[in-house]
Amino acid sequence: MTGREMKQALDGGRRVYGTMWARGLNVRWAPLLSGHGLDYVIIDNEHTPFSRTEVADLIFAFETAGIAPLVRVPIPASHYVTMAVDAGAHGVLAPYCETVDEAREVVAACKWRPLKGEFVERVMDTDEFPSEELRGYLEQRNADSFTIIGIESVPAVENLEAIVQVPGVDAIFVGPHDLSCSLGIPEQYEHPEFEGAVQRVIDTCDAAGVPMTIHFSELRLSRRWIERGMRLVLFSSDLRMLPDAVEANFGDLREVGRA
């Protein structure tokens, strides 16, 4: 799958499935995961020490394996977005956005590079390009750039109705840990106030026709939000899936051994 195909699938009402990549550096992991249900991965460059070279190598490996590579950039700033897309990423997840201006900056860098400054501001404000030839060129060049805006705080939820109206926002990401902390109920993911905030995100996104995701590593919690309408499914990470699989499989074997 590519970033363009992700958007087409979601626009068609289908679900796409991915995971967070936070630890593995060996590019040989990518072909091993091909064909096992992953449509995309988000390479975490916010909470991990991956270098630019390591990110670029992972992007190439997953792209070659037919899994759309996206990058979670460190902050919602055009410089970091451009670095990720220039490295070959099929899009970005911009964390902890709270304002329309932050979302606009991310979209502008992801969708209309290499335009910058006054010209890209004019595109975002009026949809006016220096020429129609340039419009077509940029649309083709950035066709795989999938833009996800991270909503991870109470102010972000309160501003979401305006954020989802920014042209070029392809999806919304809810960061459950940061959002629960912002609500004053850390890691209480079944608290009515937390669930109410996430439901408000879903309702706002549905009204705007923008898919959303919330990232959990527990199947029970992810299932709950799929049942409530989540279509961009982001589940677990390489950091969690291998230990979880080892624990589950060898737990079963030890049960047999004790019988």
Residue-range domains of the chain with CATH: 3-258 (3.20.20.60)
pLDDT digits (tens, 9 = 90+) for 111-128: 999 999 999 999 999 999
pLDDT digits (tens, 9 = 90+) for 75-106: 999 999 999 999 999 999 999 999 999 999 99
Mean predicted confidence (pLDDT) in 196-216: 97
Q: Are 93 and 75 in contact (CB under 8 A)?
A: no
Given a cut of 80, whether residue 259 has pLDDT beyond it is no
Q: How far is CA 179 from CA 94, 95, 229, in A?
A: 15, 12, 19
Mean predicted confidence (pLDDT) in 172-182: 98
| Residue 2 token pair | 């590519």
Given a cut of 80, whether residue 37 has pLDDT beyond it is yes
Report the phi/psi class of residue 50: left, alpha or beta, with left for phi > 0 and alpha for psi in -120 to 50: beta
Report the 3 state secondary structure along 4-50. Answer: HHHHHHHHCCCCEEEEEECCCCCCCHHHHHCCCCCCEEEEECCCCCC
pLDDT tier at 258, thresholds 50, 70, 90: confident
Question: φ and ψ at 15, to 5 degrees?
Answer: -100, 150
pLDDT digits (tens, 9 = 90+) for 127-150: 999 999 999 999 999 999 999 999
Mean predicted confidence (pLDDT) in 178-188: 98
